[in-house]
Amino acid sequence: MERTVPLYSRGRYTYTMIYLATDHRGFALKEKIKTWLGEWQLEFTDCGATSLNPDDDYPDFIALAAEKVSQDPVNNRGIILGGNGEGEAMVANRRAGVRAAVVYAVNDEVVKMTREHDASNILSLGASFLSDDDAKHVIKLWLDTPFSEEQRHVRRIAKY
């Protein structure tokens, strides 16, 4: 299922794809996220897992989503999930242009800083540590927060 709608990015509205990926640990939450994104009329692509399989491995799905984000890291976004989100972020951050930020607790300032200061383009959620309501709040806040484009942040991001 795919939908198109503009998201704020780099001082203008642009059409953006959100890529989703998880293994079995985040599968149930990913299915809920698809519903929320649909309600918000946001475009997304599900990179897997497409069914609940306790024996699957997160790198198989996370690498695909990260590769898609890396093809247009300014405009594309990703939301990836795992038990704590750490391993998933490690896989994602191996791709050029990907800046995955791990969130496994609600802290609005931290979530906003990952976008404003770090221009994160992938949100890696610790599904075992977030309630559905908390995850929904974090995702909406992250998607609604633009990169600040302050020169100190632009300069730092350009170094990696």
Judging by DSSP bridges, how do beta strands 18-22 and 44-46 pair with one another? Answer: parallel
Alpha carbons within 13 A on the beta-carbon side of 148? 14
Catalytic-residue membership of 137: no
Judging by DSSP bridges, how do beta strands 6-9 and 12-15 pair with one another? Answer: antiparallel
Two tokens, residue 120 = 């994160």
- Catalytic residue, chosen from 67, 117, 137, 153, is 117
Q: Which helix (H) or strand (E) holds 122?
A: strand 122-126
Catalytic-residue membership of 88: yes
- Catalytic residue, chosen from 88, 109, 149, 153, is 88
Q: Which residues are catalytic?
A: 88, 117
